[in-house]
Structure 1
Amino acid sequence: MKTIKVKAPATIANLVCGFDVLGLCTEVPFDIMEVRLRDDREVIIKSADGYPLPTDPALNTAGAPLLEMIKKLDKDIGFDVIIQKNIKPGSGIGSSAASAAGAVVAANFLLNQPFTKDELVRLAMFGEKVASGVKHADNVAPCIYGGITLVRSIFPLDIIPITAPPLYVSIVHPQIEVRTADARQILRKEVLLKNAVKQWGNIAGLVAGLMKEDYGLISRSLEDVIIEPVRSVLIPGFVDVKKKCLQVGALGGGISGSGPSIFMLSADESTATLVAQEMEDVYQQLGIPAHIYKSNINCQGVTLFDETNDNHAVL
């Protein structure tokens, strides 16, 4: 094959208490990426829908990982990448990760899969560095592995897929922008020991709750005492959204990535629908346009895309 088209899905990083270590892959929204092999060492980036993308591959979140891939292979190959960017940068739902993961998974497939999933995550992290200045994996790991992932370590990379009970995700993306780099700059450099201990307990409780399929433990553990109090001030309506979603039965939730998107987890689809309605109502009252998504957990990550019937298959 010389050309492949893939769906690169959105992801939710942190999962409230797991800053930079926990992530979840969703079914919607998703970017559509077409990747073509070249017989030189060039990476050419194009927009499929006119959305302004950086054309210098070193400054593009899809291009930078591909440049690293070419270095590792040391062959006369390159890639044309055409991106339909449905996950807008600054949304907090893994825009840069979708581009980075989609590019490397597609390229790996075209090359008969010489790279493992861990190696693809390492490559995709170069795209995250372009976006935020930091090589983090909490978005690219679930985008490549699917499902929920724990990044136990970056150096050396150690990714653990986490099993989970049925969960439904409601997301609101208010149409304001919070840049990841800016959201990182406002974080405190030091935290109180008592807050760190509470956060560690919540992370451990959340992972245990997911693996034990204990909705009560999941709900109790969805608490962030370090990051959310600082970042939530950047998101109008955050307090009302969280309060009202919990009142209609959400297990819990918080800021998706660095924001401004907010996510909530529910144990059943009917509750997730009520949660999505509450999210929409809050932003209608504020007069802020917002996109609403409701999704299952995507257990596959980046998949082949068939535009004739929107089928997908695991790569």
Structure 2
Amino acid sequence: MDTIRSVTVQSPGTIANLVCGFDVLGLALHQPFDCLTLKLIDRPEVEIINHDDYGLPTDPVKNVSGVVLLSIMERLHNGVGFQLISEKKIKPGSGIGSSAASAAGAAVAANMLLGNIFNKEELVQFAMNGEKLASGVKHADNIAPCIYGGITLVRSIHPLDIISIPAPSLFVTVVHPQIEVKTADARQILKKEILLKNAIKQWGNVAGLVAGFFKNDLDLISRSLEDVVIEPLRSILIPGFDEVKVQSKTAGALGGGISGSGPSIFMLSASEGIAKEVAQLMSDVYTRLGIDFHTYVTTINQKGIIQTEQ
């Protein structure tokens, strides 16, 4: 097997759900991203070194990247092991796909070291083990765009069926209030059953949003960015959410909502000028509320995880 000994990758943040597509839609961002350096070692174990201040576990069975690498080793049975040096820039609990960036980045980097022996669908399967550790559920709406790039639809988990969707040239504004909303906790507040009329409306919005992406129809995208199932429940966990959403749309944003399980909020815009104006409005809201925050004005990342150096 033709292998290299070390690889460094950038693993991007992602926005899951895209308002109405709970657990099925997601997109990759250019900013922020994690940096992961993975090295082959000649013993069957995983060694993790964290170059950040988040206090994440170094025990591989308790670490999102670690369980992914262990699952790859279990598949290979060849005595190979890995040393991972992780520099996270996506804060855990941010709602911008921090666990997905760790899990998917580890899977893709390992595949590069091993001569690209796995396809993208297999890499998603490996990375989903990390999401299960993080949230208790094997979901792929962050993992898929991280690995495939652009916008993805997870049509099915069993069997896994991922469709890449054309990504319009849109700008993405994200505000990350410096509070934590754990994915597992955000799932606990969701209802187990929903009204049929709400389900019908939600299906229409998901179909409309996907059609809008394919047709590059900004008006259809805007009309379809509506969630009548998840957002009404989860938004109560995010101070300032309603104000940010109303002001952003008034400023010309196409629409947006909760990024993943929150607390980050995202908005899509047709121009950089609107996206920057939205960022300022977001900043004004959280400054007034006295909550620390970070904002990003970025675009959709068409490539996903990339190698930066060898």
TM-score scaled by length of structure 2: 0.98
One-letter amino acid of the counterpart of residue 45, structure 2? E
* Separation in structure 2 between the aligned mates of residue 40 and residue 115 of structure 1, nearest angstrom: 21
Q: Residue 10 of structure 2 corresponds to which residue in structure 1?
A: 7
Q: Residue 21 of structure 1 corresponds to which residue in structure 2?
A: 24
Secondary structure, counterpart of 1:113 in structure 2: coil
Secondary structure, counterpart of 1:244 in structure 2: helix
CA contact (8 A) 2:167 2:300 kept: no
Q: Residue 225 of structure 2 corresponds to which residue in structure 1?
A: 222
Query: Does 2:265 correspond to 1:262?
Result: yes
One-letter amino acid of the counterpart of residue 87, structure 2? Q
Query: Does 2:305 correspond to 1:302?
Result: yes
Q: Residue 313 of structure 1 corresponds to which residue in structure 2?
A: none
Q: Select the residue among 179, 192, 196 that pairs with 2:195.
A: 192
Moved over 2 A (4+): none
Q: Select the residue among 69, 74, 77 that pairs with 1:71.
A: 74
* Separation in structure 2 between the aligned mates of residue 88 and residue 273 of structure 1, nearest angstrom: 22
Secondary structure, counterpart of 1:10 in structure 2: strand
One-letter amino acid of the counterpart of residue 60, structure 2? P
CA contact (8 A) 1:46 1:53 kept: no
* Separation in structure 1 between the aligned mates of residue 47 and residue 121 of structure 2, nearest angstrom: 25
One-letter amino acid of the counterpart of residue 39, structure 1? D
How far apart are residue 164 of structure 1 and its match?
2.4
Q: Select the residue among 156, 162, 167 that pairs with 1:164.
A: 167
Secondary structure, counterpart of 2:67 in structure 1: helix
How far apart are residue 74 of structure 1 and its match?
1.1
* Separation in structure 2 between the aligned mates of residue 98 and residue 172 of structure 1, nearest angstrom: 18
Q: Residue 132 of structure 1 corresponds to which residue in structure 2?
A: 135
Query: Does 2:129 correspond to 1:107?
Result: no
One-letter amino acid of the counterpart of residue 130, structure 1? L
CA contact (8 A) 2:30 2:301 kept: yes
Secondary structure, counterpart of 1:62 in structure 2: helix
- Within 5 Å, which residues of 2 pair with 1:204-283? 204-283=207-286
How far apart are residue 165 of structure 1 and its match?
1.7
* Separation in structure 1 between the aligned mates of residue 14 and residue 259 of structure 2, nearest angstrom: 8
* Separation in structure 2 between the aligned mates of residue 82 and residue 275 of structure 1, nearest angstrom: 35
* Separation in structure 1 between the aligned mates of residue 63 and residue 239 of structure 2, nearest angstrom: 29
* Separation in structure 2 between the aligned mates of residue 209 and residue 260 of structure 1, nearest angstrom: 26
* Separation in structure 1 between the aligned mates of residue 249 and residue 292 of structure 2, nearest angstrom: 22
How far apart are residue 306 of structure 1 and its match?
4.4
Q: Residue 310 of structure 1 corresponds to which residue in structure 2?
A: none
Q: Residue 311 of structure 1 corresponds to which residue in structure 2?
A: none
Instruction: Structure 1: give runs of 5+ residues left out of the alignment.
Output: 308-315
Q: Residue 312 of structure 1 corresponds to which residue in structure 2?
A: none
Secondary structure, counterpart of 1:293 in structure 2: strand
* Separation in structure 2 between the aligned mates of residue 139 and residue 26 of structure 1, nearest angstrom: 11
TM-score scaled by length of structure 1: 0.96
* Separation in structure 1 between the aligned mates of residue 71 and residue 207 of structure 2, nearest angstrom: 34
CA contact (8 A) 1:124 1:140 kept: yes
| Identical counterparts, % of pairs | 64
**1:165-208: CA deviation from partner (whole Å, max 9, x where unpaired):** 21110000000000000000000010000000000000000000
Query: Does 2:277 correspond to 1:290?
Result: no
Instruction: Structure 2: give runs of 5+ residues left out of the alignment.
Output: none
* Separation in structure 2 between the aligned mates of residue 305 and residue 151 of structure 1, nearest angstrom: 28
* Separation in structure 2 between the aligned mates of residue 106 and residue 97 of structure 1, nearest angstrom: 14
How far apart are residue 41 of structure 1 and its match?
1.2
